């Protein structure tokens, strides 16, 4: 291929950009193309999360009304997170709190934790003929408190329409720390519509509340946008093959879809967030090591995870993009 081009960026690679307007002014982004139709925007000032993603020219993620919001506007009290929840293709929730605001062990915790509002350090970009690797470092630490470090590695394939995000969280403090992480993957239009097929192979589904209980039989059926729609969450006991579980969405209208796969040993929980509201139209597919019920609830029921001093845990999610229904169904 090299004889046909003047610069690799003509076909694929990574480029850095900065925004110059509004609440996103100054935010750094890494724009990545794999040369096969996959494009992703990593938000370096928001933990390196994927703010936007397209495949074959079609948008896949949900971009919230907040738009781009720099970390200095973050409100960590109560549900203030929603004022800067860009959503995007995925937002990382954690690292010591996920889900409902609460007070736990004397600490006031806001919705979904702080990590997604922490700027990442770009450690390096490595490129081969087979793939592009991005290495990031996110420090979630305070004096007299938690000292967690997340080393994040993205691997984008140059031979297939796939990428993987792999996070290693280490406790560099001298006390035991709660450890919670959830990948808030947000599917949006045109991938998401009333014609989308959603697959979440499972042994059992548990509705989060009475509202979800009433919609249980309809959980996997996507609907048209509706006014005043009340969100639903469902918890899945996933079917796994050799410790790996998968979920995905496909839309025949654009002949495209995505399948996400992950290891259930480190990410034992899976949440579906169904929100069919007008303009707030999004499907969340969310593997994690916890549910979004809040840290106080998990501590009380004995499911809260911890990291000891000098202990680390690695989690990973792989995304596979397809443009054929047969390939989508063959992934399960």
Query: Which residue ranges make up each domain of the chain?
Result: 2-329
pLDDT tens, position by position, for the chain (332 residues)? 778 999 999 999 999 999 999 999 999 999 999 999 999 999 999 999 999 999 999 999 999 999 999 999 999 999 999 999 999 999 999 999 999 999 999 999 999 999 999 999 999 999 999 999 999 999 999 999 899 999 999 999 999 999 999 999 999 999 999 999 999 999 999 999 999 999 999 999 999 999 999 999 999 999 999 999 999 999 999 999 999 999 999 999 999 999 999 999 999 999 999 999 999 999 999 999 999 999 999 999 999 999 999 999 999 999 999 999 999 999 99
Please answer whether residues 191 and 59 qualify as being in contact, where contact means their C-beta atoms are separated by less than 8 angstroms. yes
**Virtual CA dihedral for 226, 257, 238, 307, nearest 10 degrees?**
-100
CA angle 13, 328, 292 (to 5 degrees): 80
pLDDT score for 222: 98
In DSSP terms, which residues pair with 137 in a beta bridge? 121, 151
pTM: 0.97
Please answer whether residues 40 and 53 qualify as being in contact, where contact means their C-beta atoms are separated by less than 8 angstroms. yes
Q: Look at the domain 2-329 and name its fold.
A: Beta-galactosidase; Chain A, domain 5 (2.70.98)
pLDDT score for 65: 96
**Virtual CA dihedral for 122, 124, 128, 133, nearest 10 degrees?**
-40
In sequence order, what DSSP letters do the residues of 187-247 get, joined into one string?
E-TTTSSTTEEEE--EEEEEESSHHHHHTGGGTTB----BTTPPPEEEEEEE--BTTEEEE
* Residue with the two structure tokens 């081009």: 5
Tell me the torsion sign for CA atoms 244, 293, 313, 316.
Answer: positive
pLDDT score for 230: 97
pLDDT score for 41: 98
Residues in the chain: 332
CA distances from 265 to 143, 172, 204, 245 (A): 32, 23, 18, 10
Q: How far is CA 309 from the centre of its chain?
A: 26
Closest CA to 41 of 134, 115, 123: 134
């Amino acid at each position: 291929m090299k004889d046909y081009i003047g610069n690799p960026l003509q076909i694929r690679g990574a480029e850095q950009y900065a925004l110059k307007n509004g609440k996103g002014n100054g935010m750094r982004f890494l724009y990545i193309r794999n040369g096969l139709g996959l494009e992703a925007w990593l938000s370096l000032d928001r933990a390196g999360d994927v703010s936007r993603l397209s495949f074959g020219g079609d948008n896949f993620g949900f971009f919230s009304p907040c738009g781009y919001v720099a970390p200095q506007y973050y409100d960590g009290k109560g549900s203030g997170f929603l004022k800067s929840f860009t959503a995007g293709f995925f937002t990382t929730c954690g690292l010591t709190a996920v889900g409902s605001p609460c007070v736990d062990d004397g600490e006031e915790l806001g919705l979904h934790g702080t990590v997604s509002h922490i700027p990442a350090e770009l450690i390096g970009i490595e490129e081969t003929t087979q793939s592009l690797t991005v290495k990031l470092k996110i420090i979630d630490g305070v004096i007299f408190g938690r000292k967690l470090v997340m080393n994040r590695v993205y691997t984008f394939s140059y031979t297939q329409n796939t990428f993987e995000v792999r996070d290693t969280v280490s406790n560099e403090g001298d006390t035991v720390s709660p450890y919670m992480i959830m990948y808030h993957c947000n599917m949006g239009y045109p991938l998401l519509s009333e014609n989308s097929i959603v697959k979440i192979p499972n042994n059992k589904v548990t509705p989060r509340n009475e509202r979800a209980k009433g919609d249980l039989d309809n959980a996997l059926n996507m609907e048209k946008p509706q006014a005043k729609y009340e969100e639903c969450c469902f918890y899945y006991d996933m079917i796994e093959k050799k410790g790996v579980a998968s979920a995905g969405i496909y839309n025949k209208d654009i002949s495209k879809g995505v399948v996400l796969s992950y290891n259930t040993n480190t990410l034992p929980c899976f949440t579906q967030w169904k929100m069919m509201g007008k303009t707030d139209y999004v499907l969340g597919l969310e593997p994690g090591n916890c549910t979004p019920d809040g840290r106080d609830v998990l501590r009380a029921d004995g499911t809260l995870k911890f990291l000891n001093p000098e202990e680390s845990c690695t989690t990973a999610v792989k995304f596979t993009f397809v443009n054929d229904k047969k390939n989508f169904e063959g992934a399960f």
